[in-house]
Amino acid sequence: MNTAKDLFSYRKNWAHRFGLAPVLPMTRKEMDELGWDVCDIIIVTGDAYVDHPSFGMALIGRVLESQGFRVGIIAQPDWQSAEAFKELGKPRLFFGITAGNMDSMVNRYTSDRRLRHDDAYTPDGKEGKRPDRSVLVYAQRAREAYNDVPVIIGGIEASLRRIAHYDYWSDKVRRSCLPDSKADMLLFGNAERAIVEIAHRLDANENIKDITDIRGTAFMTSAVPDGWTVVDSTDVDTPGKIEKRTDPHRDPYASRPDCSQQSASPDAPNQQVVTLHTRPRGLDRSHTVLRLPSYEQVSNDNVLYAHTSRVFHLETNPGNARALVQRHGNRDVWLNPPPIPMTTKELDHIYELPYTRKPHPAYGDAKMPAWEMIRFSINIMRGCFGGCTFCSITEHEGRIIQNRSEKSILNEIETIRDNVPGFTGNISDLGGPTANMWRLKCKDEKIESSCRRLSCVYPGICNNLNTDHEPLIQLYRKARKIRGIKRIFIASGLRYDLAVRSKTYIKELATHHVGGYLKIAPEHIEEGPLSKMMKPGIGAYDRFKQLFDQYSKEAGKEQYLIPYFISAHPGTTDEDMLNLAIWLKSNNFRLDQVQAFLPTPLAIASAMYHTERNPLKKVSRDSEKVSAVRGARQRRLHKAFLRYHAPENWPILRDALKRMGRADLIGNGKKHLVPSWQPGKKHHSTNKPGQKKRFQPAKTRFTA
């Protein structure tokens, strides 16, 4: 893997003499109390300001503060005019714009495009405190406020919109948010390295327009610079050589031989076989740029959109990724390769900065739902190598696991114990995007740097992946021994196909770290949708469940698995959902909440939904088609199959079963899926008359 300058090795800006701010200021009065006449950097965010490392504005703000810069926060400003963006005065270096921890459209709308009536990142959960497509609105208002100040956009919303992308809410392909925001630069992925270097270079009087060489950044340009070789990938009609594979663990991306069989250098011949035009071999990857189909092309051609999605995702490994360029009108959006992952030392330093771990005092006694959810939890890592096609983690955090040290994690437990109000001895989570990927990585750094697979665990677990859970087990045991700690729960999702590699880990988990329920995500049981999700077969779930039940019973505990399933995912048929409903009933599952597929920008599954093509394979004019669940009624039906037990779903299910030739599943016996009768409006309950209404959890094997 390529190396990078240590994040904390820069000489601090002179303003570090002011000392650390108790909280980053949100008003001129707070600036005055700190002795500041100006902010070097102002961060504008769609979230309320919570000074906690799980909140992006706080993490980036404290990182910049550690470099000696004076950082102010404008949280959830009134976007109707530019006045709110002048609250802290003119920033000396730049505005940093983010929509917040969530994409603003996901935050405000359901998968059915209905307006949500709460916002977990707002005081008291009030909705309506941020605009749609917040990054665009905030950036434009910041430009209005001070038109000579550089504007830099980032966070998950900007990351997922860095090239032309399908927008589910308008049902069309939109331009990169970079030209629409009028920003000078876009940061994507883990942005700490990029924003620190930019801050120091701007402080040294470098012009923002001249800063074009930083990884994890995107900018507009009128021409490809001298010294760069352009590899054209704007068409699919002249494919290059595709390497054939016959082994059972075939790379679903068919981009190069399986990494488990060789250790190739990043410049190995025939590595970039996805390129659809013949090109010279042995090019300098550091000065090679792939030209994607233009915004205008992908807007009007679904095949080219799917092809673009495939090429884009093949260039996400920071060890071998090349720059990308995409035409928008008469200018290009230029994307540098992804950022180099953070080292353990750097990540420790980031999470040990002087956060108050509380909302800003200006919010008083207002409840902050998102903070309430995570204030006793600890993030132990970043990234995920699972590659699930519906998930945005790969596009944002990357697939290389970035780990905190054991010591840093244990110290944070003590910090929570001693400093966070309301702590009762329970840590709500030790996790991350995937709780049991801590310290898991490729066994060979050369293979990791050259690998072009987007999943280390699909269609099977790579032979080169270290799946040793022993360090994580030891972390759990040491954490439990800390004075004042009663329980430590694992609340974030885990990969059960990895967990079954370690019976000791499952025993440790079931015995000590489950508070009655454990969330896991099989997502489906049928091969059709699972293959489009890049998720393991249900057999892995069955093996995990058997062990979890066994060890729970041995520990004398009644514990339940809470499975999560996705409805209406691309590649899912009505028959697939029916089979899932039958499986749920046979296993005595009655789901309280269900998740309908939501096409987020840049996700592979979103490309499937929009184009009805499969970017997991080579894309051509006659390549595999993928069914997309679009109509409101069909999406409602798929959700209804997941909640087959709810009376309000019985009418649509009866109609569907009759249409599918499965009227035999309608009746009042135990083997029927839905009853033939319908309760009155006052009795929409699965309980029998006179029976007390109660929550009915999913039962595991030994409690059934």
Over 388-412, what HEC string results? CCCCCHHHHCCCCCEECCHHHHHHH
The pLDDT tens digits for 283-315 are 888 899 999 999 999 999 999 999 999 999 999
pLDDT of 262 over the 50 cut: no
Residue 701 has pLDDT above 60, yes or no: no
Element spanning 217, H or E: strand 217-221
Return the residue matching tokens 């300001």: 49
* Cβ burial, residue 629 (10 Å; 0-12/13-18/19+): buried
Give mean pLDDT, residues 324-333.
97
pLDDT at 581 over 90: yes
| DSSP code per residue over 404-441 | --HHHHHHHHHHHHHHSTT--SEE-EEESSSGGGTT--
Question: Which residues neighbour 572 within 8 Å (Cβ) at sequence distance 6 or greater?
Answer: 524, 526, 528, 529, 532, 627, 629, 638
Task: Report CA dihedral (455, 457, 458, 462) to the nearest 10 degrees.
Answer: 90
Amino acid at 669: G
The average pLDDT across 379-400 equals: 92
How far is residue 159's CA from residue 181's CA, in Å, rounded to a whole number? 13
Q: Cβ(609)–Cβ(115) under 8 Å? A: no
Residue among 681, 673, 668, 671 at smallest CA distance from 644: 673
- Kindly indicate the confidence band of residue 244, based on its pLDDT and cuts at 50, 70 and 90: very low
β-sheet bridge partners, residue 73? 43
CA-to-CA distance for 85 and 169, rounded, in angstroms? 27
Alpha carbon 202 to its chain's center: 30
pLDDT digits (tens, 9 = 90+) for 612-671: 999 999 999 998 899 999 999 999 999 999 999 999 999 999 999 999 999 999 999 999
Distance, in Å, from the CA atom of 335 to the CA atom of 318, rounded to the nearest integer, reads 13
The encoded tokens of residue 321 equal: 């990724």
How confident is the model at residue 459, as a pLDDT? 94
Closest CA to 25 of 62, 70, 72: 72
472-531 pLDDT tens trace: 999 999 999 999 999 999 998 899 999 999 999 999 999 999 989 998 999 999 999 999
E strands, 285-424, in order: 288-292, 323-328, 331-335, 377-379, 381-382, 402-403
524 with 568: CB under 8 angstroms? Answer: no
What's the token pair of residue 437?
A: 């990927």
- Average pLDDT, stretch 451-471? 96
Question: Do residues 408 and 225 lie in contact, with contact meaning Cβ atoms separated by under 8 Å?
Answer: no
- Mean pLDDT confidence for 579-607: 94
In DSSP notation, 471-540 reads HHHHHHHHHHTSTT--EE---S---HHHHTT-HHHHHHHHHHS-SSEEEEEEE-SSHHHHHHHT---HHH
- Residue 361's CB is within 10 A of a number of other CB atoms, namely 12
Q: Strand 331-335 vs strand 323-328: parallel, antiparallel, or unpaired?
A: antiparallel
Taking CA 117 as the corner, what is the angle to CA 652 and CA 651, rounded to the nearest 5 degrees?
10
Query: What is the average pLDDT value for the chain, to the nearest integer?
Result: 90
Please tell me the distance from the alpha carbon of residue 181 to that of residue 171, in angstroms, as a whole number.
20
Share of the chain above pLDDT 70, in %: 90
CA neighbours closer than 13 Å in the CB half-sphere of residue 505: 23
* Helix, strand and coil percent figures for the chain, each rounded to 5: 35, 15, 50
Tell me the torsion sign for CA atoms 419, 420, 421, 422: negative
The reported pLDDT for the residue numbered 243 is: 38
Report CA dihedral (588, 591, 595, 596) to the nearest 10 degrees. Answer: 70
Contact between residue 95 and residue 150 where contact means Cβ atoms under 8 Å apart: yes
* CA quadruple 261, 264, 266, 267: dihedral sign: negative
Contact 369, 49 (CB under 8 A): no
Pairing of strands 402-403, 381-382: antiparallel
* Residue 397: CB atoms within 10 Å: 21
Q: Please report the pLDDT score of residue 378 as a whole number.
A: 97
Q: Which one, of 405, 380, 403, 396, lies nearest residue 490 by Cα?
A: 380
- According to the model, what pLDDT value does residue 237 have? 58
Q: pTM to 2 decimals? A: 0.90
In one-letter notation, the amino acid at residue 106 is V
Residue 532: both structure tokens together: 């489009």
Q: Would you say how long the chain is, in residues?
A: 704
- 684 three-state secondary structure: coil
Mean local confidence (pLDDT), 57-82: 98
